[in-house]
């Protein structure tokens, strides 16, 4: 096995890359996300620990966000009176590695202190995938040139903030049995208790070592200081195990703080008894079980970076999804940073959900159950705006929070004022994106239970919203005015193609399912609670204006787009830093040009591919591709897949590589605020939906692979209608193996209809 294709490496310490590495090497398990901050502290670091679903509003002038919880990683290390820091003395053999196979982060360095004393240090860390409340650390220090007096200071530091906002009031600090440290903090508005409990153990050459321990408490902080001597060539090992529980945990519901504290302490003892090695082993086995033995994507490519990128994607997709709790969803920056405040966007349904639908359908179901549980807020939003049905928030957080999009953003270069953010008010396509997510889940899984409990209601309620949102036009048709489509460079447009096409589709889908459920007790039950006005849906669907392709095949992105001025975009198409157009123009000026931030009409064409002819697809590709700047990370994967559909294999591969580089590439600042969760889903989409050719077209499962020249083989797994199918694609054959074998699967492969029972082997040449 090629180990290089499993390991994300940082070969040299670069203080400018602290934020990036913290994000892309983030560890977690869907319950928590821990940025890969170093044990010793540096200026420019952004230490962060985020627990899914624990939103808090710092002040009424701000929207709620995931609070940055206490830091339990920090260790101050003094060696013979000199503080270990890579910014003093000299060092060699530095390496930091995140091993996707085991989920372990390892850093090592040989450090020469300013005095000339030499030490080798190893730092290991795991966030357990097996026990989602546990973080384990191990540090090894070996003095090479003389004996050393080691002073270590570590504990739980609740002085963390979100860029200055302190989300917690200080709670209890306890030191139990002269050994276990515990800190409680409570969010100021949502009133969620966080209980951190930690144990630190020292060993010399593998044997437990008795050391001088001093407890220190400060505001929002509990620490222990350890002092010990270690002889030249011996190794001092520090093992620190921390557990985290919150009153938001389902099993802590209704518990008093003291009960959570007691539970945390007992749980820590059990975890600490396993030691770092035991915990790391358990977690690595869980990685194998859930991901690498279960649903791996493997590629034989001439470029090893491709396999690494796909593992990067699967690793992050695993740690970003709160599969344990259907009251939570995925944030646009996952749990890896403060960016977008932990909020959930359409990124979930359009970019990440397909991964879970095909590989971990239970997680996909949980993510869509979250939307169902958010329906009260969506209904309230619709009502507040004078509509009926469910208008989903553009940004959402806790179930009852409703719309949480901030009202202002970055500075306007012309006015010098913060730019108003209108997405929460008028980027309304999110409601059909949710409907699309539900439908795709159903089409791939056939999960009737989900549909009966949640799915139909979501589809009906979003259709009802669209029916109430449509406006009468002078032309006798119905329009959707004043919206933002996927291309966020255009505010307040009328008849956005993406929104209108999907609104009509949403209405038609509701009608189809209403017909299907006619005379069933389920429909009767739904009718008791909801207003299901079939005739209104039908009338509105009939009269809605959807921009048809022009004679040359181009679909107008909105009513005015094709009349806007065209400028030379070369400079921005070749930019090193996204959003460079804002250096020259303000938002209003950009709104007057034919320039797209991200895939828009092209995304419509991809998601609704059965609705458009090859000629229309080609015309729109030729028109919009040169006008799209990919200033949103969500754009490249769509273009990659479409480039492949257009037969431009080199361009598809180049776009795949660019999508991989959003987080993994050389730009040192691009991931400071967290990884790009949707775009990571997009990496998987490029490989499996793009090159692997697995799609849901009009609800039917279709496979039409098209491997890039440099790929010899691609293997992946997909759950199709309750069957786990291994799909192996090479230049000469396609092999499908049904590993579940409890049912058959109908699938179209390269234009021919097949029924998969056990195995299919299709020769290509
Ligand atoms: O949802 C996206 C949006 O499409 C572009 N701006 C960033 C958001 C969060 O990723």
pLDDT at residue 639, rounded to an integer: 98
Closest CA to 765 of 732, 728, 729, 730: 732
Ligand 1 contacts CB of residue 678 (under 6 A)? yes
Instruction: Yes or no: say if 538 and 511 are a contact pair by the CB < 8 Å rule.
Output: yes
Q: Is a pLDDT exceeding 90 seen at residue 187?
A: yes
Closest CA to 685 of 693, 676, 677, 673: 693
pLDDT at residue 413, rounded to an integer: 81
pLDDT tens for 533-568 read 999 999 999 999 999 999 999 999 999 999 999 999
pLDDT at residue 210, rounded to an integer: 87
Sign of CA dihedral 327, 330, 333, 336: positive
Question: Which residue has its alpha carbon closest to ligand 1 atom 10?
Answer: 332
pLDDT at residue 36, rounded to an integer: 98
pLDDT tens for 241-297 read 999 999 999 999 999 999 999 999 999 999 999 999 999 999 999 999 999 999 999
Instruction: Yes or no: say if 211 and 202 are a contact pair by the CB < 8 Å rule.
Output: yes
Average confidence (pLDDT) over 94-119: 98
How far apart, in whole angstroms, are the C-alpha atoms of residue 29 and residue 161? 22
pLDDT tens for 93-103 read 999 999 999 99
CA of 596 to the centre of ligand 1 (A): 13
Instruction: Yes or no: say if 644 and 706 are a contact pair by the CB < 8 Å rule.
Output: yes
Closest CA to 580 of 571, 589, 568: 571
Tokens (6 digits) for 320 = 């970003």
How far apart, in whole angstroms, are the C-alpha atoms of residue 342 and residue 727? 34
- Selected catalytic residue, list 40, 104, 395, 488: 488
Note if 709 is an active site residue: no
Q: Please, which pLDDT band fits residue 499 given cuts at 50, 70 and 90? A: very high
Average confidence (pLDDT) over 158-180: 96
pLDDT tens for 362-392 read 999 999 999 999 999 999 999 999 999 999 9
Ligand 1 contacts CB of residue 156 (under 6 A)? no
> Which residue among 346, 347, 428, 679 has the greatest number of ligand 1 atoms within 8 angstroms of its CB, and so is best to mutate?
347
HSE on the CB side for 695, CA within 13 Å?
21
Question: Which residue has its alpha carbon closest to ligand 1 atom 7?
Answer: 632
Ligand 1 contacts CB of residue 317 (under 6 A)? no
CA of 393 to the centre of ligand 1 (A): 13
pLDDT at residue 399, rounded to an integer: 97
pLDDT at residue 1, rounded to an integer: 55
Average confidence (pLDDT) over 137-146: 98
Bridge partner residues of 714 (DSSP): 299, 729
Ligand 1 contacts CB of residue 456 (under 6 A)? no
Instruction: Yes or no: say if 119 and 94 are a contact pair by the CB < 8 Å rule.
Output: no
pLDDT at residue 410, rounded to an integer: 82
How far apart, in whole angstroms, are the C-alpha atoms of residue 572 and residue 347? 24
Question: Which residue has its alpha carbon closest to ligand 1 atom 4?
Answer: 486
CA of 347 to the centre of ligand 1 (A): 7
Average confidence (pLDDT) over 221-225: 97
CA of 517 to the centre of ligand 1 (A): 36
> Which residue among 488, 579, 604, 633 has the greatest number of ligand 1 atoms within 8 angstroms of its CB, and so is best to mutate?
488
CA of 236 to the centre of ligand 1 (A): 47
How far apart, in whole angstroms, are the C-alpha atoms of residue 718 and residue 357? 8
Average confidence (pLDDT) over 707-730: 98
Tokens (6 digits) for 673 = 């605020």
DSSP one-letter code for 405: -
pLDDT tens for 721-749 read 999 999 999 999 999 999 999 999 999 99
> Which residue among 333, 345, 587 has the greatest number of ligand 1 atoms within 8 angstroms of its CB, and so is best to mutate?
345
How far apart, in whole angstroms, are the C-alpha atoms of residue 128 and residue 131? 5
Write the DSSP assignment of 654-679 as a string of letters: HHHHHHHHHHHSS-SSTTTT---HHH
Q: Is a pLDDT exceeding 80 seen at residue 515?
A: yes
pLDDT tens for 52-79 read 999 999 999 999 999 999 999 999 999 9
Average confidence (pLDDT) over 26-32: 98
pLDDT at residue 414, rounded to an integer: 85
């Amino acid at each position: 096995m090629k180990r290089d294709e499993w390991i994300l490496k940082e070969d040299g310490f670069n203080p400018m890359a602290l934020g990036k590495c913290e994000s892309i090497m983030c560890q977690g398990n869907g319950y928590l996300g821990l940025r890969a901050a170093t044990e010793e502290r540096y200026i420019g670091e952004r230490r962060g620990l985020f627990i899914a679903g624990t939103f808090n509003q710092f002040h009424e002038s701000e929207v709620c966000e995931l609070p940055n919880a206490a830091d339990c990683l920090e260790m101050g290390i003094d060696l013979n009176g000199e503080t270990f820091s890579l910014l003093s003395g000299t060092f060699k053999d530095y390496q930091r590695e995140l091993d996707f196979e085991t989920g372990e982060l390892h850093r090592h360095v040989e450090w020469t202190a300013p005095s000339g004393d030499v030490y080798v240090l190893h730092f290991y860390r795991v966030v357990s995938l097996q026990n989602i409340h546990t973080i384990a650390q191990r540090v090894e220090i070996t003095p090479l040139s003389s004996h050393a007096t080691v002073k270590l200071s570590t504990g739980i530091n609740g002085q963390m903030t979100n860029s200055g906002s302190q989300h917690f009031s200080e709670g209890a600090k306890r030191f139990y049995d002269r050994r276990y440290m515990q800190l409680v903090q409570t969010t100021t508005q949502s009133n969620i208790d966080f209980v951190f409990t930690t144990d630190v153990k020292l060993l010399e050459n593998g044997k437990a070592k008795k050391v001088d321990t001093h407890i220190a408490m400060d505001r929002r902080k509990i620490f222990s200081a350890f002092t010990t001597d270690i002889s030249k060539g011996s190794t001092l090992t520090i093992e620190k195990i921390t557990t985290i529980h919150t009153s938001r945990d389902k099993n802590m519901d209704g518990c008093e703080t003291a009960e959570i504290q007691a539970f945390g302490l007992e749980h820590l003892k059990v975890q600490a008894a396993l030691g770092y090695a035991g915990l790391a082993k358990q977690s690595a086995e869980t990685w194998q079980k859930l991901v690498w033995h279960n649903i791996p994507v493997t590629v034989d490519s001439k470029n090893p970076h491709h396999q690494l990128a796909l593992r990067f994607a699967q690793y992050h997709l695993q740690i970003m999804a709160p599969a344990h709790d259907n009251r939570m969803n995925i944030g646009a920056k996952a749990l890896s940073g403060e960016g977008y405040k932990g909020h959930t966007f359409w990124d979930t349904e359009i970019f990440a959900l397909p991964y879970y639908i095909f590989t971990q359908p239970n997680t996909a179901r949980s993510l869509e159950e979250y939307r169902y549980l958010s329906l009260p807020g969506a209904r309230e939003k619709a009502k507040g705006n004078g509509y009926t049905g469910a208008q989903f928030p553009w940004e959402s957080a806790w179930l009852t929070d409703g719309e949480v999009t901030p009202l202002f953003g970055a500075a306007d270069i012309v006015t010098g004022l913060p730019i108003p953010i209108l997405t929460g008010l008028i980027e309304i396509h999110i409601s059909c994106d949710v409907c699309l997510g539900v439908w795709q889940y159903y089409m791939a899984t056939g999960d009737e239970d989900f549909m009966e409990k949640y799915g139909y209601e979501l589809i009906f309620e979003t259709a009802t919203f669209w029916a109430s949102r449509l406006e009468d036009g002078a032309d006798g048709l119905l329009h959707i005015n004043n919206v933002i489509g996927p291309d966020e460079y255009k505010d307040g447009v009328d008849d956005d193609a993406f929104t209108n096409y999907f609104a009509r589709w949403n209405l038609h889908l509701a009608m189809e399912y209403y017909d299907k459920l006619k005379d069933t007790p389920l429909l009767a039950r739904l009718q008791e609670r909801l207003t299901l006005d079939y005739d209104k849906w039908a009338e509105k669907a009939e009269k809605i204006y959807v921009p048809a392709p022009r004679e040359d095949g181009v679909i107008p992105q909105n009513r005015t787009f094709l009349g806007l001025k065209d400028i030379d975009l070369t400079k921005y198409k070749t930019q090193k830093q996204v959003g460079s157009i804002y250096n020259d123009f303000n938002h209003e000026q950009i709104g007057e040009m034919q320039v797209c931030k991200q895939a828009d009409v092209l995304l419509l064409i991809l998601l609704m591919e059965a609705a458009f002819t090859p000629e229309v697809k080609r015309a729109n590709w030729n028109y919009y591709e040169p006008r799209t700047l990919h200033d949103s990370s969500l754009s490249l994967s769509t273009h990659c897949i479409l480039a492949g559909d257009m037969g431009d294999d080199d361009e598809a591969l180049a776009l795949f590589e660019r999508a991989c580089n959003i987080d993994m590439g050389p730009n040192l600042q691009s991931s400071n605020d967290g990884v790009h969760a949707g775009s990571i889903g997009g990496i998987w989409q490029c490989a499996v939906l793009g090159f692997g050719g697995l799609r849901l077209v009009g609800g039917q499962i279709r496979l039409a692979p098209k491997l890039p020249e440099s790929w010899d083989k691609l293997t992946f797994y997909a759950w199709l209608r309750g069957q786990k199918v291994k799909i192996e694609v090479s230049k000469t054959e396609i092999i499908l193996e049904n590993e579940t074998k409890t049912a058959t699967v109908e699938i179209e492969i390269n234009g021919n209809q097949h029924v998969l029972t056990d195995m299919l082997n299709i020769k290509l040449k």
